Each structure stands twice: as C-alpha cells, then as structure tokens.
Copies of this chain bind each other. A is one copy, B any other.
Amino acid sequence: MKNQDFINKLRNSGLRPTKQRIKICEALFNTEKTFHFTVNDLAKMMQKNFNEKISLATVYNTLHAFKKKGYVKEISLGNDKSYFDTNISSHHHFFDTKTNELIDIDSSKVELKNIPNPPKGKSIKDIDIVINVENDSQ
C-alpha cells in the first residue's frame, strides 16, 4: 500500500490525512500479518522504526478515531491497559494471564451455541470471548 492509498482511506472516512495519521497507518497496515499492541507499544514503535516522535495524546486520539472508523479493534481484558488489534475480522483470543500475551483464535474454531436474547430495549453490538490460559506448571 502506498501513502496515497492511506490518504484516500482516511479522507474517505472523514478523517483529515495528517502526517501523523498517515505514518500510523503505515505502521499498522503495511505489515504481512496483523498484530496486537498497546498505545505505548505503538508510540515507541513510531519513534524507533519510523523516526517519528508522536505525542502520546495524539496516539490515543488516533487510535480511538481509527477504532470508531473500524480500522482497528480494541480488546477487552481484565487488565489495566487496553490492547488494540489490527485484525478486524470477527475473532476471539487466548490471553496468557501471566505473560500478558494475546493470541488470536481462528473465528471458525470457536462459536457460541446459542446467543441469548439481549435485555429488552437493548441490542447486541459485539461479542468478546477471552480464553484465559497459563503455562503448564511442569
């Protein structure tokens, strides 16, 4: 993907293509595989791999904007910090509660048997399944 593609992508969804947003797009979407990261991970990555010092507040802003536009997903864990995922397809996660490692579960590998009716007046937005794992104590 070229820069111009990211510029179009941003513009098409109503986000101004600023230098920072384009760079973050590169970092997130010019990759072979999807990946998980925290806000801090991304801020550091921008500095190290992209020589781009972006204010933390901007990284938060951008990620929340990208999340709203569906470019990334936020992952719900019982953790103090929040994780983002560039894999936006419907899928769930293993979470290693000791190492804080997140691992994708292929969506075909897990499915709900019967989805209960939501409380009256409410409708389902999405479903998060987290399978907490731990290293076998040998």
Give the residues from 81 to 138 in chain A that come closer than 8 angstroms, CB to CB, to chain B. Answer: 82, 94, 96-97, 103, 105-106, 109-116, 118-119, 121-136
B74, B96, B106, B122: the one contacting A122 at CB < 8 Å is: B96
* A7 at the B interface (CB under 8 A): no
Interchain CA distance A131-B109 in the complex, whole Å: 18
Residues of B within 8 A of A133 (CB): 118-119, 122-125
* A78 at the B interface (CB under 8 A): yes
- What is the interface size of chain A, counting residues whose CB is below 8 A from a CB of the partner? 40
Q: Can you offer 11 A-B residue contacts whose CB atoms are under 8 A?
A: A75-B78, A94-B119, A94-B122, A103-B119, A110-B114, A112-B129, A121-B135, A123-B136, A124-B131, A127-B130, A129-B129
Contacting pair A78 B128 (CB below 8 A): yes
Residues of B within 8 A of A75 (CB): 78
* A77 at the B interface (CB under 8 A): yes
Residue ID in chain B nearest A76 by CB atoms: B78
Question: In the complex, how many angstroms separate the beta carbon of A132 from the nearest chain B beta carbon?
Answer: 5
Interchain CA distance A41-B126 in the complex, whole Å: 27
